[in-house]
Structures are given as C-alpha cells and as structure tokens.
C-alpha cells in the first residue's frame, strides 16, 4: 500500500493511498483510494460514533451520487474508512480553482456548461431524497430514512468523468458521520443536532423550535445559491456573497454583537400579552437582505436564463 498526501478535520485525517492490483478487488479509477482515519482524542467516543454512523448510513442508502463506503475496520485505537478517491477534490476546492467563464481571474473550467450544472444539482437532490427515504428516479435505494446533517461544499466530492469522451466532473455526496435515522415525520430539538455553521437553518438558533428533514433541504438550498453565484460571478462572487452576509445578530441576552455568514438574521420582537399583563420578548428569524439582494442581481444578468430558472425553483420552493 502506498500513501500520499493528508487532509481532514480535527477528528480525522484523509490520505490518498494506492493498493496493489493483486490485493485489491475494488474498482477505482487509477486504483487510488481515500483512507479516512478517525483517532480517539480527548473525547473518546467521538471517533467511534462517527465511524459507526458512516457504516450505518451507507447500509441505509445507496445511490450513484453517494460516495460508496468500500471497507471499514478498526486497528488499536484508530478507525479506518475506505472510499474511492476524488481527483477533483471537493466542490469548495473546485470553485476556488476554476471560474466558469474567461475574464473572472481563475482558470477557465472548459467542462462547465449550464446543462452540466443543472444535471449535477438534480442528481445531488435525488441522492438526498433517497437519503430521506423517498423513491429515487436515478437508481437510488433506501432501506431506512435518515438525515445527512452536514451538507456543505466540502462534503460534495468531484470525480473525474470521461464517459462521454470529454473530461468533466461528476459530483457525489459524502461524509455521513453526523447522520441520524429519521423519517419525514421525525423531529429533533436543535441542541440534538451538530453545527453546520454557514448553512445551518434558522430553527437551529430559535428557542423551542424543532427540526427534521427540512434541515437538510435548507442546507442544500444554501449550497445551490452559492453554486449559482459561482456559475455567474466565479469564485470572487462566492467570496463577495459570503462577505455580504456578515451581518450582526441580536443575541437573546442583548448587548453582544455577533457577525456570521449564515443566510438568516435573528431579530428581537416584542408583543404585549393581555393575559399576562406584560410585554413578551422573543427571537424570530428572517432571510438576510444580502441573500435577498443577491437573487435580484442574478435576475439582471443577461444571457443566463437557464440559471435564473434554476434559481427561481430554489428560492421559491426551498428558501421561502
């Protein structure tokens, strides 16, 4: 076995490895694989829980656009997960390296087209629908509904695709370490759900709220808005959109200013209760002005009617 490179988060590391053909029964382009290593740290159960979640999630759902788990094993205090290697990295990396058109500052993505983008968005949505336990139109199979809980560009992998004679990328959903079994009727208290930072839905921050499959749908909608922003304005547009979302929230205690690049803003509202004879304060959430204005800017872009149509579906059926 040959090991090359290392990437990962606080809990895990991911290595590109090669396995000799005489010892490998898996099919993979170039016989390269991603070996994810989870090591017990200060929180002894965290690595083991993620390991078990990954294995269980891959048994609950399969789909052509879900990165398959090829093998899983434990050795001493480390847990190992083997996946196909994605030569294109993740979607965040793809956005940062390529721009869709000349003149935007980055390397031009010769493989990019609006048809390609629409196809990728559709298939990722079908994969997530399968994860949620719904029938698939693209060969997905689900034996138990679940939530992904961590949809973001870093968890969309880009695989080389030469099937049509031209080099391009196929996007696949990955990283089910935070997944939980849940059907369309299941609800959770926000404090039961792990953070997804920028893409987290408003319910995560609002007291007495519950979340369910809409959690994943909101996150996917945020990802698609970033995807469309990249398709029109390139990587610099994605960065500008992120900066524009840095807007102060009113915290529940007041007096502290917190700036985050989430897609919603919290506001304190006051209403008078005649029954209690006093004012009642509560927090509500609304879509940030920067998120509302970005679509307006997209609609003014000429020659990209297909993207605007995709956006309208996302905006009206997912975000609102």
Instruction: Give the residue among 34, 156, 149 at the shortest CA–CA distance from 95.
Output: 156
Encode pLDDT of 239-261 as tens digits.
999 999 986 555 544 556 677 89
Superfamily of domain 2-244+290-319: Transferase(Phosphotransferase) domain 1 (1.10.510.10)
Encode pLDDT of 183-211 as tens digits.
777 766 655 555 568 998 888 777 766 77
Encode pLDDT of 258-309 as tens digits.
778 999 887 777 766 666 666 666 677 788 888 877 655 655 555 556 666 6
Residue scoring higher pLDDT (95 or 312): 95
Residue scoring higher pLDDT (194 or 144): 144
pLDDT at 73: 95
Judge whether 150 and 53 are in contact, CB under 8 Å: no
pLDDT at 27: 65
Judge whether 90 and 102 are in contact, CB under 8 Å: no
| pLDDT(315) > 90 | no
d(CA 84, CA 35): 9
d(CA 213, CA 185): 8
pLDDT at 300: 53
| Residue 258 structure tokens | 């917190």
d(CA 90, CA 51): 21
d(CA 180, CA 53): 8
Q: Where are the domains of the chain?
A: 2-244+290-319
pLDDT at 24: 74
Show the 3-state SS of 177-215: CCCEECCCCCCECHHHCCCCHHHCCHHHCCCCCCECCHH
pLDDT at 113: 92
Encode pLDDT of 93-133 as tens digits.
999 999 999 988 889 999 999 899 999 999 999 999 999 99
Judge whether 230 and 237 are in contact, CB under 8 Å: yes
What pTM value is reported for the model? 0.85
| pLDDT(33) > 50 | yes
Count CB neighbours of 106 within 10 A: 16
d(CA 297, CA 313): 16
77 falls in which pLDDT band (50, 70, 90)? Answer: confident
In the three-class reduction of DSSP (H, G, I as helix; E, B as strand; rest coil), residue 150 is classed as coil
| Residue 264 structure tokens | 């919603």
Alpha carbons within 13 A on the beta-carbon side of 124: 28
pLDDT at 306: 62
């Amino acid at each position: 076995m040959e090991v090359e490179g290392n990437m990962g988060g606080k809990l895990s590391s991911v290595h590109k490895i090669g396995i000799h053909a005489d010892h490998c029964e898996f099919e993979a382009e170039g016989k390269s694989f991603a070996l994810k290593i989870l090591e017990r740290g200060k929180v002894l159960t965290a690595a083991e829980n993620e390991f078990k979640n990954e294995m269980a999630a891959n048994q609950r759902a399969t789909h052509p656009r879900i990165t398959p788990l090829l093998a899983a094993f434990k050795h001493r205090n480390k847990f190992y997960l083997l996946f196909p290697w994605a030569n294109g990295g993740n979607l965040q990396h793809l956005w940062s390296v390529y721009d869709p058109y000349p003149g935007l500052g980055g390397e031009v993505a010769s493989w990019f087209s609006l048809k390609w983008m629409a196809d990728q968005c559709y298939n990722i949505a079908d994969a997530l629908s399968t994860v949620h336990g719904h029938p698939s139109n693209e060969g997905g199979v689900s034996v138990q509904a679940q939530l992904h809980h961590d949809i973001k560009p870093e968890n969309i992998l880009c695989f080389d695709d030469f099937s049509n004679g031209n080099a391009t990328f196929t996007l696949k959903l990955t990283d089910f370490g935070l997944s939980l079994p849940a059907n369309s009727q299941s609800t959770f208290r926000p404090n039961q759900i792990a953070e997804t930072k920028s893409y987290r839905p408003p319910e995560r921050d609002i007291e007495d709220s519950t979340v369910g499959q809409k959690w994943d749908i909101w996150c996917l909608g945020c990802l698609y808005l970033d995807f469309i922003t990249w398709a029109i304005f390139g990587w610099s547009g994605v960065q500008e959109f992120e900066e524009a979302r840095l807007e102060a929230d009113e915290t529940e205690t007041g007096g502290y200013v917190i700036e985050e690049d989430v897609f919603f803003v919290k506001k304190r509202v006051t209403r008078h209760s005649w029954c209690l004879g006093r004012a009642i304060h509560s927090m509500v959430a609304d879509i940030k002005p920067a998120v509302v204005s970005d679509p307006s800017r997209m609609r003014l872009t000429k020659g990209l009617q297909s993207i605007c149509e995709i956006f309208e579906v996302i905006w009206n059926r997912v975000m609102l």
